[in-house]
Structure 1
Amino acid sequence: MNRLFLVIVAIGVPLSVIGSFLHFPQVIMFTVYCIAIIGLASFMGRATESLAIIAGPRIGGLLNATFGNAVELIISFFALKQGLTAIVLASLTGSVIGNLLLVAGLSFFVGGLKYKRQVFNVHDARHNSGLLMFAIIVAFVVPEVFSVEMAENKQFVLSIGISIVMILLYVAALYFKLVSHRGVYVAKQESGQGEAETEEETPEWSGKFATVILLLSTIAVAYISERLVHTFDTVGEQFGWSELFIGVIIVAIVGNAAEHASAVIMAYKNKMDVAVEIAFGSTLQVAMMVAPILVISSLFFDKQMPLIFSLPELIAMASSVLLTVILSNDGDTNWFEGATLLAAYFIMAIGFFLL
């Protein structure tokens, strides 16, 4: 599998550069760009897996989420520069439901096929649940409710205020988890669970080499992402896709390919703490850091982006959070819970396709 991704990167990245300069058909280049980004994401996933072994599950999961979301942040930044605010908001929606339903669901399902029952830190699960309820139910739904009685300029001021509060709380959450209460809430390992996976692991790459791979992959993704954004209009017209579907499904899947691969691999290896940290941590980072940064960044563009989602987007995100919280709050999972999350994702994907 690693050789396959190496071939994809070796062919896809040069072809992306050549095709953009020679102006190959945009539909073809859209496919090339997406495949190249997924190939690069696999390298990002392998690098962060090495760093997770070196630094521990929490920091490793955070690094994976951060560099995985860097892909989407870059894509969204260039889309915002083009004035495609609807696609940016849709991609944020897609990231939330994609991480909570598709990534977590696939991780629970694949891991559950190998292990009858998998456990993870219940304290982290409950901490993440509270933040998810705040980020989606409070910080995303509230602007929609208040915006009904507001002028457009006041909607944007409200969005800026909420964005600043969310960034501050996210930084406080990281400090709480990684500094002030690090090691305080340690889950007890249940007997018979994951005993085959307790042997010491050696990272595939050293910390320095993994960091270099992450940086180079991110730079390559930044270049390809800018080109990818320019193909959205043509591809949408060619296939009859709406901006909403492109943002919620296509951009979100391509932008979060690193987390998708890494979380599933970790679950298959019974490292559920890392898998859950990737899926939930990535969602929190999108909602509490990526979205606010994009809102504030839109100040410097011709078209500002208030944090106002459509009703289908809000319902999809809120439903995803509630379902995930209910299934994961006990720190225990199995393949059927994963199948439930996947079923919810496909129902929403069909709905967004038909809108």
Structure 2
Amino acid sequence: MINKLFMIFVVIGVPLSVIGSIMHWSQILMFVIYCLTIIALAGFMGRATESLAIISGPRIGGLLNATFGNAVELIISIFALQAGLTEVVLASLTGSVLGNLLLVGGLSFFIGGLKYKRQQFNIYDARHNSALLIFAVIVAFVIPEIFAQRMPEDKTLTLSIGVSIVLIILYLAALLFRLVTHRGVYQHKNDVSEEHEEPEWGKLRAIMVLLLSTVAVAYVSENLVHTFETVAEKFGWSELFIGVIIVAIVGNAAEHASAILMAYKDKMGVAVEIAVGSTLQVAMFVAPVLVLVSLLFSTSMPLVFTIPELVSMITAVFLTISISNDGDTNWFEGATLLGAYIIMGLGFYLL
């Protein structure tokens, strides 16, 4: 039913996005059309990555889902940087961290926990990810903010570039560690896919769907960025709220759908890999890449967040670590994460 609904939104939404942008329809109407179209396209990306997860295993499948899911947000953010909306981009990065850890993780634990009283995943992966989360969010994001208090803008940007390069190198090293040098060393019984399970699509078709969906998302995202100012004025939303909540939810729709589906199927290893792995990719790869890409535009973006953004991300990291470090989840832990997300979302709305 949901897949048919996504198909309808794609078939109708993509042509309407093209026609509406050419005919200059109402910005508010086009904002809604663009968001629904991106979410529907993300649904196709989720189905494709689910097929690839069955073929390739939970780690690679989760990585692919996070990568193509974050590709949506990366594309939106690059167009936003081109338009000079650096605050929206930084806010969307904050929203991705909060959305993946609290909203996606919370919904996955909650929905899966309603069906299964107890769900388990690889405890070694959980501890490995915990260390990386502390490094990426608390060390790499907080340090530039602290030092920026006593630095001119040019030195702050230089520091951000240096931090970004270190983050990218360490992220690539983490992939090498998990997928090559230590692949299979820390194995969990749930990491092994059931042999009788058949993917919905073959590898070639799944890859083609991912590529075509990403191209379509790129076009729609470019137009979506141009509606932000009108929408903000109409509804009284701040750039911070649009970035943290709206852009983050729309940009990460693929992960949202896939992680929840995996948890419902008791594939909690893949669900956690999507939620936490996507957060790590945002913090250690997407954010640094955006800092470097911003150098190509008139307005550069230092890796400096506001205090509310930093405190929210740090809180989300510690809460997620305390809940997931035992490799065991239930619906109440999911409800706790969701409660934290609602509280933070309310705070950003009222700022």
Q: Indicate whether the TM-score tops 0.5.
A: yes
Structure 2 residue aligned with 1:333, among 329, 344, 350? Answer: 329
| Aligned equivalent of 1:174 | 175
Q: Deviations over 1:208-234 (max 9, x none)?
A: 000000000000000000000000000
How many angstroms apart in 1 are the aligned matches of 2:27 and 2:81? Answer: 20
Equivalent AA in structure 2 for residue 118 of structure 1: Q
Q: In the alignment, does 2:294 pair up with 1:320?
A: no
Amino acid across the alignment from 1:110: I
Residues in 2 aligned to 1:329 and 1:31: alpha-carbon distance in whole angstroms: 39
> Corresponding residue for 2:51?
50
Residue type of the alignment partner of 2:327: G
SS of corresponding position for 2:184: coil
Tell me what 2:69 maps to. Answer: 68
* Cα distance in 1 between the residues matched to 2:93 and 2:14: 26
Where do 1:138-153 residues align within 5 Å?
A: 138-153=139-154
Aligned residues: 350
Instruction: Give 1:187 shift.
Output: 2.2
Q: Which residue of 1 aligns with 2:100?
A: 99
Distance across 1 between alignment mates of 2:282 and 2:189 = 30
The CA distance in 2 between the partners of 1:40 and 1:74, in whole Å, is 14
In structure 1, what is the equivalent of residue 270 of structure 2? 274
Partner residue of 2:184? 183
Structure 2 unmatched ranges of 5 or more = none
Partner in structure 2 of residue 158 of structure 1: 159
1:232 pairs with 2:228 = yes
For residues 172 and 219 of structure 2, the distance between their equivalents in structure 1, rounded to whole angstroms, comes to: 29
Give the distance between the partners of 1:186 and 1:199, measured in 2 at CA: 17
What is the CA deviation profile of residues 103-137 of structure 1, one whole-angstrom value per residue up to 9, with x for unaligned ones?
A: 00000000000000000000000000000000000
Matched with 1:302 is: 298
Amino acid at match of 2:346: I
Displacement over 4 Å in runs of 4+: none
Q: 2:288 aligns with which of 283, 288, 292?
A: 292
Q: 1:89 — aligned with what?
A: 90
Deviation (angstroms), 1:188: 4.4
- Map 1:106-125; keep pairs closer than 5 Å: 106-125=107-126
Deviation at 1:157, TM superposition (A): 0.1
3-state SS of the aligned residue for 1:139? helix
1:89 & 1:200 partners in 2: Cα distance? Answer: 44
Q: Deviations over 1:39-78 (max 9, x none)?
A: 0000000000000000000000000000000000000000
- The one-letter code of the counterpart of 2:203 is G
Give the partner amino acid of 2:82: K
The amino acid of 1:9's aligned partner reads V
The alignment status of 1:252 with 2:253, answered yes or no, reads no
1 CA distance for matches of 2:231 and 2:3?
A: 30
TM-score (norm 1): 0.97
Partner letter of residue 344 of structure 1? Answer: A
CA shift digits 1:126-175 (9 cap, x unpaired): 00000000000000001111111100000000000000000000000000
State the partner residue of 1:29: 30
Identical amino acids, percent of aligned pairs: 71
Normalised to the residue count of structure 2, the TM-score between the two structures is 0.98
**What CA distance in whole angstroms lies between the structure 1 residues aligned with 2:104 and 2:236?**
26
Provide the C-alpha distance between the structure 2 equivalents of 1:182 and 1:345, rounded to a whole number of angstroms.
33
Deviations 1:157-213 (A, max 9, x none): 000000000000000000000000000001246xxxx99x94621000000000000
Structure 1 residues 199 and 334, CA, compared in 2 at 3 Å: closer, same or farther?
farther
> Residues of 1 paired with 2:188 and 2:146: CA distance?
39
Shift of 1:313: 0.1
* Residue of 259, 266, 288 corresponding to 1:263: 259
- The amino acid across from 2:89 in the alignment is V
**Cα distance in 1, alignment partners of residues 239 and 246 from structure 2:** 10
- Which among 323, 336, 342 is matched to residue 346 of structure 1? 342
